[in-house]
């Protein structure tokens, strides 16, 4: 009848005098009674046979056990007490008749039938109360149509012995509880955030997810509930998604608009839509402290959009400590509350933006309990573009603001100036430096060179793309100006710089190239070369044409003998007999050489052909040369060619005369 619920079924079988002999055990009852057999066979019921003394406990169990669910027309037990009466004693027990009660019954059990119950109101007996069981050990007071309120049950002991009377009060209350409206607003619910619930909307919590009920409570005649015993009778049990422990059911009142703030909702939830289940019941307090269920409200479900998980974000450079443009940034999302869905774990996309309109995204993947991702950003002040991404929320989104600095890029000199003559290959260079961090590597590329007409500029790096070391690199160039008209801004070199493997980091810089024209000077060096050539020719001609001692002879005359002496090549300084005395100099040309002689020292007197000589004088073939120093006298003869014997003798040739001639040639 009630699926997935525990149901208590109680049955009372009052045996007649005839059946008392036939039914003595539970098995006898099961065999003789089809209802009892059905309960035992299909519901697993247990049968107990008791006497009239045990009937009270069975009857009480019937009234109490059924109180955990509601069905119209079922009576509810709300009072269970016992009183001990002395002989002739009178006891008073407070009894409350609820608003909307169609019938209220008071059942009394005594060990003797000699007791008298009466219902009093303001110390006066209430008329119209039907009493059953007169003369029995029990009495049943049936109360209908009386106004709700507090009454008094009076019990009098009419015996001469002490008496114990058990009292059970139960009622059937027919109230018209209804939900006029059920609404929710605020939110969506962020995993781990509070959820507010109440009877009316709470304007003081506009940002929080909340749900509320508007309740109508009247009796069967349509009168509003004013019975104080029923004012706090609405008990609400909330079942919220993603909580480790559900909140304890709470009492609400239609007069005091009570609100409950439940924290930590959705701590274990994945993103999506889930329900807040509201189960309401109307209860009445019993004297024993337990509540009696009067009725249940229809179960209400508030669809709740859940944003999960809730992340705490941290952004750090992968290398170094500074945020450099297009450097690797590590983004970590730590889960504070909630659980990621499968699609989120495979890729959660965050959006970043700048005030200048730049936008970027990073995809985080779930691994080892956190979300991780990597991104590269241009230089600017960046912040998160919102706080909810793919149904996940970043708790500290306003703090996720960071500045990405531009990398230092320098070119020195800023302008490359070439100075020189036209048609010459002029050399120049600039140094390129690009900032990197950690294990980053940079490279440069000569993208293009734009030059004026008549000017050629080329890079001599050897490769179009080259690495940039941390200390920088010098890039050499060569310029050839064909005309002087290209002087000034002659060309522009376009260089692309980027991080290796990061194409979006590419930057283009333009290096201006200027040419300073220098007029080519008059080629004096050619004049000098020509003069040197002429001088060389002159020297050569002179060296080739000047006379040298070849056939000239120099003879020493001593003791009627002549000794041949070497004169050298061009000059002959003195003689072996008189060193540093005279100098022989050959002048003229090789064809017509003329030998001259001059004295070198005053120590010797020079006489040529019987004439004393003090300056350079020419010699002729056969000239006599005499050197005189004191008593010493040396005689020589000079010949332009090989002399004949008669020329050496210095006398005419006489065929019959005898002559002695000794010729000695010294090496």
DSSP letter string over 153-179? Answer: EEEEE-SSS-EEEEEEEEEEE-EEEEE
CATH code: domain 50-173 is 2.60.120.380
Architecture of domain 553-665: Sandwich (2.60)
Q: Assign domain 175-307 to a CATH class.
A: mainly beta
Query: Which has more pLDDT, 555 or 425?
Result: 425
d(CA 125, CA 141) in angstroms, rounded, equals 13
d(CA 2, CA 5) in angstroms, rounded, equals 6
Choose the weakest-confidence range: 200-214, 222-236, 309-323, 565-579: 200-214
pLDDT of 2: 42
pLDDT of 439: 87
3-class SS of residue 67: helix
Residue 85 CA to chain centroid, in angstroms? 84
**How large is the average pLDDT for residues 170-179?**
76
- The token duo for 331 is 């983004």
Residue 293 CA to chain centroid, in angstroms? 58
**How large is the average pLDDT for residues 503-522?**
91
* H or E segment to which residue 564 belongs: strand 561-565
pLDDT of 359: 94
Task: Assess contact for 257 and 198: CB atoms under 8 A.
Answer: yes
Architecture of domain 310-404: Sandwich (2.60)
**How large is the average pLDDT for residues 411-440?**
92
pLDDT single digits (tens) 191-228: 888 888 776 655 556 566 777 777 777 888 888 888 87
Mean pLDDT, the chain, integer = 81
Total Cβ atoms within 10 A of residue 546:
15
Question: Where are the domains positioned within the chain?
Answer: 50-173, 175-307, 310-404, 409-517, 553-665
Tell how strand 359-367 and strand 193-198 pair up: unpaired
Task: Assess contact for 345 and 366: CB atoms under 8 A.
Answer: yes
Query: Which has more pLDDT, 647 or 624?
Result: 624
Longest distance between any two alpha carbons in the chain, whole Å: 226
- CATH fold group of domain 409-517: Immunoglobulin-like (2.60.40)
Is 175-307 the same fold as 50-173?
no
């Amino acid at each position: 009848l009630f699926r997935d619920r525990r149901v208590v079924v109680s049955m009372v079988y009052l045996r007649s005098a005839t059946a008392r002999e036939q039914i003595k055990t539970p098995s006898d009852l099961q065999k003789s009674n089809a209802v009892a057999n059905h309960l035992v066979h299909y519901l697993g019921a247990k049968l107990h046979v008791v006497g009239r003394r045990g009937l009270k406990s069975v009857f009480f169990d019937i009234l109490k056990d059924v109180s955990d669910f509601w069905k119209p027309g079922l009576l509810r037990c709300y009072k269970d007490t016992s009183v001990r009466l002395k002989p002739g004693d009178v006891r008073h027990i407070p009894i409350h008749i609820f608003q909307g009660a169609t019938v209220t019954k008071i059942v009394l059990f005594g060990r003797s039938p000699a007791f008298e119950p009466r219902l009093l109101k303001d110390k006066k007996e209430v008329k119209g109360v039907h009493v059953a069981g007169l003369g029995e050990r029990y009495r049943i007071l049936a109360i209908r149509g009386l106004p709700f309120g507090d009454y008094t049950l009076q019990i009098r002991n009419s015996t001469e012995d002490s008496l114990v009377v058990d009292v059970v009060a139960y009622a059937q209350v027919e109230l018209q509880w209804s939900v006029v409206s059920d609404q929710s607003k605020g939110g969506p619910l962020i995993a781990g955030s509070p959820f507010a619930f109440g009877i009316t909307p709470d304007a003081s919590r506009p940002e929080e997810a909340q749900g509320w009920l508007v309740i109508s409570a009247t009796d069967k005649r349509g009168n509003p509930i004013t019975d104080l015993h029923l004012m706090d009778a609405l008990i609400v049990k909330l079942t919220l998604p993603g909580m480790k422990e559900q909140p304890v059911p709470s009492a609400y009142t239609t007069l005091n608009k009570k609100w409950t703030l439940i924290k930590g909702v959705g701590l274990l939830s994945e993103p999506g839509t889930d329900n807040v289940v509201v189960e309401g019941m109307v209860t009445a307090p019993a004297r024993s402290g337990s509540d009696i269920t009067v009725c249940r409200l229809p179960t209400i479900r508030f669809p709740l959009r859940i944003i999960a998980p809730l992340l705490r974000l941290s952004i750090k450079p992968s290398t170094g400590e500074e945020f450099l443009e297009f450097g690797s940034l590590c983004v970590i999302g730590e889960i504070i509350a909630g659980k990621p869905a499968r699609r989120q774990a495979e890729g959660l996309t965050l959006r970043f933006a700048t005030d200048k309109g730049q936008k970027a995204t990073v995809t985080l993947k779930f691994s080892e309990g956190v979300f991780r991702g990597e991104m590269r950003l241009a230089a600017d002040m960046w912040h998160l573009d919102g706080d909810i991404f793919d149904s996940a929320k970043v708790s500290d989104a306003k703090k996720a603001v960071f500045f990405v600095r531009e990398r230092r890029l320098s070119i020195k000199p800023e302008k490359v100036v070439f100075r020189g003559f036209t048609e010459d290959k002029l050399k120049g260079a600039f140094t390129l430096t690009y900032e990197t961090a950690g294990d980053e590597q940079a490279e440069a590329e000569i993208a293009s060179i734009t030059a004026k007409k008549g000017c050629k500029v080329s890079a001599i790096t050897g490769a179009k793309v080259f690495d940039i070391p941390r200390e920088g690199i010098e890039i050499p160039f060569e310029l050839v100006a064909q005309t002087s008209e290209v002087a000034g801004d002659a060309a522009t070199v376009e260089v692309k710089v980027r991080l290796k493997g990061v194409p979006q980091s590419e930057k283009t810089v333009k290096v201006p190239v200027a040419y300073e024209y220098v007029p080519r000077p008059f080629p004096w060096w050619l004049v000098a070369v020509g003069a040197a050539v002429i001088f060389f020719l002159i020297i050569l001609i002179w060296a080739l044409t000047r006379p040298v001692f070849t056939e000239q002879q120099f003879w020493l005359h001593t003791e009627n003998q002549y000794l041949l002496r070497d004169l050298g090549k061009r000059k002959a300084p003195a003689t072996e007999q008189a060193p540093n005395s005279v100098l022989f100099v050959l002048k003229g040309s090789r064809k017509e050489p003329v030998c001259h002689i001059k004295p070198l020292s005053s120590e010797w007197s020079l006489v040529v052909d019987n004439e004393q000589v003090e300056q350079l004088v020419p010699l002729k073939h056969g000239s006599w040369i005499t050197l005189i120093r004191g008593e010493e006298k040396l005689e020589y003869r000079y010949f332009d060619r090989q002399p004949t014997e008669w020329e050496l003798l210095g006398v005419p040739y006489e065929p019959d005369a005898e002559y002695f001639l000794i010729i000695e040639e010294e090496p």
